[in-house]
Amino acid sequence: MRIDQVTVIGLGLIGGSLAWKIKDKKLARVVGYARREETIKEALDKGIIDEGTTDLINSIKNSNLIMVCTSIDSVTDIVKEISVYLRSDAIVVDVGSTKKKIVYELSNSLPEGVTFIGGHPMAGSEKSGIDAADKNLFDGAKFILTPYKTPDNQKIIKLNYFIEKLGMKIEYLSPDEHDLAVAAISHLPYLMAATLVNTIGTHENSAIFLRVAASGFKDTTRVSSSPSLWGKDVCVTNKDQILLMINAFKDNLNYMESLIKLNKEKELLDYFENAIGTRKKLTHNGESK
């Protein structure tokens, strides 16, 4: 059976962008849920959704794909609340940027027959809210799926096909593999950017630094403008993997510091050349410029 109606719970940047893309490509009817009537009205006015409501249970009753696009710390409670009202053929997927805590908890607590699959689209922005929604945000992006104890293989295949129709590429990882990967490539860069900005901001010469800062500093620190709630949530739910990557980064920083102190010009050159070589591997995959 095809996916004929999708409910998107949470119409912020991610939820709004997914809903808009689904509706734009006419893949299914789109119902949006948000807590505020103003958000629903804006989503309807922009043509992001076909129908909207502030009633969570009514939003999901006739849908066979539910996409939970809320803050990480609210996903498990929402999925548990809606689970007894779902269609028998429904698939529930979240888009949170950490998976282990969510997937393992829900795999052991949902009614029999409810299919939950952890998901994470690997694209985004430092912006937030329905105003930031962009139907092209995920074009060509990876969408990581972390199925765990999911007996219904047909539902995984159906979800895979639907996501690919949205223009994304599927990558399968275990919840543990996912959380280590995003700790390295998403969470650590965010923490580095936030720490750099705070280092500059608390320095006695911060006014001068900020006055002369140009594109290099702005590009490097762009993600520090991400919602602070997101930053807190990833640190709490992905604590162990983030700490592993912080320690790995500190080892590299300490090594570079020693090279600078000892005037090791050749070693410094080698270190920076190695960084250039590793960075090029991204461009060769067509993922960055």
pLDDT (0 to 100) of residue 128: 85
* Better pLDDT: 54 or 124: 54
Q: Please identify, among 141, 173, 205, the residue that sits at the C-terminal boundary of a domain.
A: 173
Determine how β-strand 115-121 pairs with β-strand 65-68.
unpaired
> Mean pLDDT, the chain, as a whole number?
93
**Rounded Cα–Cα distance for residues 145 and 155 (Å):** 12
Domain holding 240: CATH number? 1.10.3660.10
Per-residue pLDDT averaged across 210-234, rounded?
94
> What's the pLDDT score for residue 244?
98
One domain for residues 156 and 271: no
CATH number, residue 73: 3.40.50.720
How large is the average pLDDT for residues 222-231? 93
Alpha carbon 278 to chain centroid, angstroms = 24
Domain boundary pick from 173, 188, 221: 173
Same domain as 250, residue 211? yes
Please give the pLDDT value at position 254. Answer: 98
111-140 mean pLDDT = 89
Say how far apart CA 224 and CA 196 lie, in whole Å: 9
Residue 150: the pLDDT is: 63
The answer on 164 and 113 residing in a single domain is yes
The per-residue pLDDT for range 67-115, each reduced to its tens digit, is 999 999 999 999 999 999 999 889 999 999 999 999 999 988 888 778 8
Tokens of 25: 């490509």
CA distance 145 to 99: 10
Amino acid at 236: V
What CA–CA distance (Å, rounded) separates 62 from 85? Answer: 9
Within a domain: 289 = no
Shared domain for 41 and 141, answered yes or no, is yes
Separation between Cα atoms, residue 14 and residue 59, nearest integer Å: 18
Nearest Cα to Cα of residue 220 among 126, 133, 124, 120: 126
Instruction: Give the tens place of pLDDT for each residue, 132-166.
Output: 999 999 999 999 999 887 656 888 999 999 999 99
**Boundary of a domain, candidates 154, 173, 192:** 173
Residue 93 bridge partners (DSSP): 67, 117
Show the domain range for 220: 177-284
Q: Are residues 187 and 162 in the same domain?
A: no
* Mean pLDDT on 199-205: 97
> 57 and 33 in contact (C-beta within 8 Å)?
no
Question: Residue 112: what pLDDT?
Answer: 78
| Co-location of 99 and 203 in the same domain | no
- Number of domains the chain is built from: 2
Give the closest residue to 121 by CA, choosing from 182, 60, 183.
182
Tell whether the model's pLDDT for residue 55 goes beyond 90: yes
Which pLDDT belongs to residue 152?
A: 67
Give the Cα separation of 238 and 139 in Å (integer): 27
State mean pLDDT over 6-33: 97
pLDDT at res. 140:
92
Least confident of 107-121, 171-185, 268-282: 107-121
Least confidently predicted of 152-161, 175-184, 224-233, 236-245: 152-161
pTM recorded for the entire structure: 0.89
Rounded mean pLDDT of 232-251? 97
Name which of 28, 143, 27 is nearest 96 in CA terms.
143
